[in-house]
């Protein structure tokens, strides 16, 4: 193989390094190995600028082609610095007699003649590349031209790799920022949860304390003791409900999937509320799609969601009204729609409806819909609401159907 073929082979290998998306160090190793394949080269030095543009991080390789870091050097008084400032190649016939570069790293390694070339890509100077021999006047114009082409390939490869590194860094920063935001959001949620619990338990505890004091004050008054005990029991049950709501909101609660039909779950929930419907003068309309297939979902969790939606509908119709519960087979999912003719909600209320601790109801915990949304999302479904003040509300729960079964 003649010399020109070897040069083009080296350029080809460097081009492959660009396309392989290698890291900067890997590219520099390829460049050192391929360039030093040519007989007579004593040393190769490649230096990349740091982000300040004031310092070089050089790497030196000998005839073995092994690239080794050479610390950090400044630009003044060095051939690489001269080329970086002028952005033009420099051929030095004899380093030992060139007084411009008394601190030459190549000269300290026994190099007499060298070619130093700028590494420039898209108008940006990245560093410089130098190769040297131990004899003076060792570089022809054609060889210098070939080395310039290698320098251009090197600059393109390095810039490509630096961009990839920057993308990795930005991706890592985004990931860290996301983790930080999630952590901050969790801390904020914990703070709201603590404030909510403190607020909710204050009144029951005060009531329990007051009526317990009444029992201790008049322990022989059986009627008063019985009345106070009933009130204490009611407040304890209220505390238990607050605790249950908080636990439902905070625990992971992975769904325990069972094979069920949405129609069966809807029937069971409506049966549970029969007395409440009668007491509130609410007329119930059920429109259950008989084609609804069996699905995989957690029946207890979905029941909890429907109980919450129906209870909210009842609260929105204090003077009675109509409640419609529908199921719809949509092929890849089943819809359960709970609609009421109650007070309805404004757009501002809808926008905050699923936020934890948000409630428009006196004595409400503000966790019911937030928990419901989490349950539905854990099932791979979604929950949506349509409402208008004075015209009622309609909640739609969509649960996926496993079409593979």
The confidence score (pLDDT) of residue 4 equals 67
Predicted confidence (pLDDT) per residue in 162-193, tens digit: 888 888 888 888 887 777 766 666 556 666 66
Q: Domains (ranges, CATH) in the chain?
A: 3-171 (3.30.450.40), 181-250 (1.10.287.130), 258-400 (3.30.565.10)
Q: If pLDDT is split at 50, 70 and 90, which confidence band does 145 have? A: confident
Q: Considering the chain, what percentage of its residues have pLDDT values greater than 70?
A: 83
Mean pLDDT of the chain: 82
Residue 35: pLDDT over 70: yes
For residue 324, name the pLDDT band (cuts at 50, 70, 90): very high
Tell me the mean pLDDT in the region 103-122: 85
The pLDDT score that the predictor gives to residue 336 is 95
Q: Report the DSSP pairing between strands 67-69 and 55-61.
A: antiparallel
The whole-number pLDDT of residue 2 equals 58
State the pLDDT at residue 334: 95
Q: Please give the pLDDT value at position 282.
A: 93
C-alpha 95/C-alpha 99 separation (Å) is 8
What's the pLDDT score for residue 190? 62
Residue 295 has pLDDT above 90, yes or no: yes
Q: Does the structure show a pLDDT above 90 at 292?
A: yes
pLDDT at 195: 64
Q: What pLDDT, on the 0 to 100 scale, is given for residue 399?
A: 95
Spatial separation of the C-alpha atoms in residues 280 and 300, rounded to whole Å: 25
What is the pLDDT confidence band of residue 245, given thresholds at 50, 70 and 90? low
Cα angle 84, 85, 86 (rounded to 5 degrees) comes to: 95
Please report the pLDDT score of residue 169 as a whole number.
84
Question: What pLDDT sits at residue 335?
Answer: 94
Q: With contact defined as beta carbons under 8 Å apart, do 358 and 348 qualify?
A: no
Question: What is the pLDDT, as a whole number, of residue 294?
Answer: 93
- pLDDT of 360 > 70? The answer is no
Higher pLDDT, 127 or 255: 127
Reference 151, options 176, 128, 181, 180; nearest CA is: 128
**pLDDT grade, residue 385 (50/70/90)?**
very high
The whole-number pLDDT of residue 40 equals 63
Query: How many Å apart are CA 48 and CA 283, to the nearest integer?
Result: 79
* Of residues 41 and 183, more confidently modeled: 41
Whether 361 shows a pLDDT value over 70: the answer reads no
Least confident of 152-161, 179-188, 323-332, 336-345: 179-188
pLDDT greater than 90 at residue 102: no
- Candidate ranges 14-23, 46-55, 187-196; pick with highest mean pLDDT: 46-55
Q: Which pLDDT does position 192 carry in this prediction?
A: 63
Q: How far is CA 267 from CA 259, 263, 376, 393, in A?
A: 16, 6, 19, 21
How many residues are given for the chain?
405
90 strand-pairing partners: 116
Residue 339: which pLDDT band, with cuts at 50, 70 and 90? Answer: very high
């Amino acid at each position: 193989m003649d010399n020109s073929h070897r040069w083009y082979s080296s350029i080809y290998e460097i081009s492959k390094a660009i396309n392989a998306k290698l890291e900067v160090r890997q590219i520099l190793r390829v460049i050192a190995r391929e360039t030093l394949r040519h007989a007579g080269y004593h040393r190769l030095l490649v230096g990349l600028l740091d982000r300040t543009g004031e310092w070089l991080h050089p790497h030196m390789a000998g005839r073995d082609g092994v690239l080794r870091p050479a610390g950090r050097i400044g630009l003044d008084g060095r051939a690489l610095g001269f080329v970086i400032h002028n952005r033009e190649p420099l051929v030095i016939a004899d380093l030992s007699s060139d007084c411009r570069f008394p601190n030459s790293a190549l000269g300290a390694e026994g190099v007499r003649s060298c070619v130093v070339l700028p590494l420039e890509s898209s108008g940006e100077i990245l560093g410089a590349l130098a190769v040297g021999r131990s004899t003076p006047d060792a570089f022809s114009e054609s060889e210098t031209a070939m080395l310039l082409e290698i320098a251009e390939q090197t600059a393109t490869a390095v810039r490509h790799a630096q961009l990839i590194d920057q993308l990795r860094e930005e991706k890592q920063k985004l990931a860290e920022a996301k983790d930080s935001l999630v952590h901050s959001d969790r801390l904020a949620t914990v703070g709201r949860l603590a404030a909510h619990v403190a607020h909710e338990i204050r009144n029951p505890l005060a009531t329990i304390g007051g009526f317990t004091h009444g029992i201790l004050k008049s322990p022989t008054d059986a009627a008063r003791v019985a009345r106070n005990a009933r009130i204490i029991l009611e407040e304890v049950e209220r505390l238990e409900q607050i605790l249950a709501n908080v636990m439902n909101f905070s625990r992971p609660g992975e769904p325990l999937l069972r094979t069920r039909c949405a129609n069966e779950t809807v029937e069971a929930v409506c049966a549970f509320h029969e007395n409440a419907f009668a007491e509130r003068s609410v007329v119930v309309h059920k429109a259950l799609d008989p084609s609804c297939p069996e699905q995989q979902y957690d029946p207890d969790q979905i029941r909890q969601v429907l109980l919450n939606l129906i209870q909210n509908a009842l609260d929105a119709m204090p003077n009675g009204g109509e409640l419609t519960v529908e199921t719809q087979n949509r092929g890849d999912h089943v819809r359960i729609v709970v609609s009421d003719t109650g007070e309805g909600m404004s757009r501002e209320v809808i926008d905050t409806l699923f936020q934890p601790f948000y409630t428009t109801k006196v004595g409400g915990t503000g966790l019911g819909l937030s928990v419901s949304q989490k349950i539905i999302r854990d099932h791979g479904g979604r929950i949506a609401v349509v409402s208008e003040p004075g015209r009622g509300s309609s909640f739609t729960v969509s649960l996926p159907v496993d079409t593979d079964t």
